[in-house]
Amino acid sequence: MELEQMYASMGISSKVFRFGQAVEESLKERFSAIDRTAEANQLKVLSAFRKEKLSESHLSGTTGYGYNDTGRETLEKVYADIFHTEDALVRPQITCGTHALYTALAGNLRPGDELLSPVGAPYDTLQEVIGIRPSNGSLAEYGITYRQVDLLPDESFDYAGIRKAINAKTKLVTIQRSKGYSSRHTLSVGQIGELIRFIKGVKPDVICMVDNCYGEFVELNEPSDAGADMVVGSLIKNPGGGLAPIGGYIAGRADCVENAAFRLASPGLGREVGATLNVNRSFFQGLFFAPTVTAGALKGAIFAASVYEKLGFEVHPKAAEKRHDIIQAITFHKPEGLVAFCEGIQAASPVDSYVRPEPWPMPGYDSDVIMAAGTFVSGASIELSADGPLREPYTAYFQGGLTYDHAKFGILLALQKLADQGLAPII
């Protein structure tokens, strides 16, 4: 059966298929550059595995207290090698990216300290962690204050405002690499390094933490290479390679990581406890695949931007822009467009393809959210997924795809759903 016929049997019309093929043909040079970055990052990961002498014995897990888990210890050395940091904490007990960030923040801040964001408001779920939106157990309830400096209208850093905001109480600066549910650009590693150098010039002892979610392995370097004291992320995003069933990481300065470990477990125990059960193999193997899986997701994001930009939709970043994370925003300006797009992504999924996603009040968000995520690992956004808050301007945030081919199909099926409802032109 010819490829076009196979797509037709999966619900894609000839017009949509041929339009997609033409767009894909125009992206060969971009995709080739992504492959070269993936190759370099693959070698970096493999080098760390070889350096730490990964063996079959490290792939097993522990139970109970988890004492003397050599697999866990080796995995954390591998992460420290890859991120070029003194230490790393990589644990299945970290439930998600927000939990990883909270653990890093709460472990390194004390009552009377102040947290500063120099890049505007953080992602929705972190706002409750900080206490911007009141929540039980927030940092604010423990006497930790928060200050924020917004980006300038041209999205550059407000250096004068940042200098003014840093004071004697400023203990930690949090820098969100990805844009979250905002319209700003994702920060490059180079921009993050420039910002950290400025902050350290104002107050050398301040801790600079980077929320690295969605950005791992997109570039040749990581924020830790640019001076970050901590980089934090989720294993069900890029670094888990689609195989990690749960978990998060904190890599950075040894004292910062140690403080986070005591917060994750308890004072006096820290990193010495935490059984890995049967996840070590998935963590190692997922990390091994991560550069290639991330490359596929990145190609999918560029393909999505190119398809929808050509049809007249607002996309962010634009199709030709350089990428620093795997997220692609597509704005529909009407709720029906956002819902139809997510329905298409869900229908393209290997799991629960028959389910129709509905907006609902997700914990940690201030408005209803629609989420398409027919994934092998629940909520894994390195797998094909899309979500967005049901509020103006009705933007879908598309990410993931364990393979580029799957991402491509999902993008085309979402377009077909939109076209069938008269919400997108048929080319």
- Position 307 confidence tier, pLDDT thresholds 50, 70, 90: very high
**Using CA atoms, how far apart are residues 239 and 90, in angstroms rounded to an integer?**
11
| Per-residue pLDDT tens digits for 99-118 | 999 999 999 999 999 999 99
**Using CA atoms, how far apart are residues 257 and 115, in angstroms rounded to an integer?**
17
Across residues 319-341, what is the average pLDDT? 96
What are the phi and psi torsion angles at 232 (to 5°)? -135, 140
pLDDT of 273 reads: 97
Q: Which helix (H) or strand (E) holds 200?
A: helix 189-202
**Using CA atoms, how far apart are residues 358 and 30, in angstroms rounded to an integer?**
35
Q: Which helix (H) or strand (E) holds 371?
A: strand 369-372
pLDDT of 194 reads: 98
pLDDT > 90 in the chain, percent = 95
Across residues 18-38, what is the average pLDDT? 97
CB 122 within 8 A of CB 174: yes
**Using CA atoms, how far apart are residues 19 and 309, in angstroms rounded to an integer?**
13
pLDDT of 247 reads: 98
Residue 420 DSSP class: H
Of 422, 423, 350, 414, residue with least CA distance to 386: 414
pLDDT of 360 reads: 85
- Position 367 confidence tier, pLDDT thresholds 50, 70, 90: confident
pLDDT > 70 in the chain, percent = 99
| Per-residue pLDDT tens digits for 377-424 | 999 999 999 999 999 999 999 999 999 999 999 999 999 999 999 999
Across residues 153-160, what is the average pLDDT? 97
Of 67, 71, 46, 49, residue with least CA distance to 58: 71
pLDDT of 124 reads: 85
Tell whether the model's pLDDT for residue 363 goes beyond 80: no
What are the phi and psi torsion angles at 413 (to 5°)? -70, -35
| Per-residue pLDDT tens digits for 236-283 | 999 999 999 999 999 999 999 999 999 999 999 999 999 999 999 999
- Position 172 confidence tier, pLDDT thresholds 50, 70, 90: very high
**Using CA atoms, how far apart are residues 173 and 162, in angstroms rounded to an integer?**
10
CB burial of 148-164 (b: ≥16 within 10 Å; e: otherwise) equals: bbebeeeeebbbeebee
Tell whether the model's pLDDT for residue 150 goes beyond 70: yes
Tokens standing for 10?
Answer: 């999966």
Across residues 216-228, what is the average pLDDT? 98
pLDDT of 426 reads: 74
Residue 270 DSSP class: G
- Position 427 confidence tier, pLDDT thresholds 50, 70, 90: low
Whether pTM > 0.85 for this model: the answer is yes
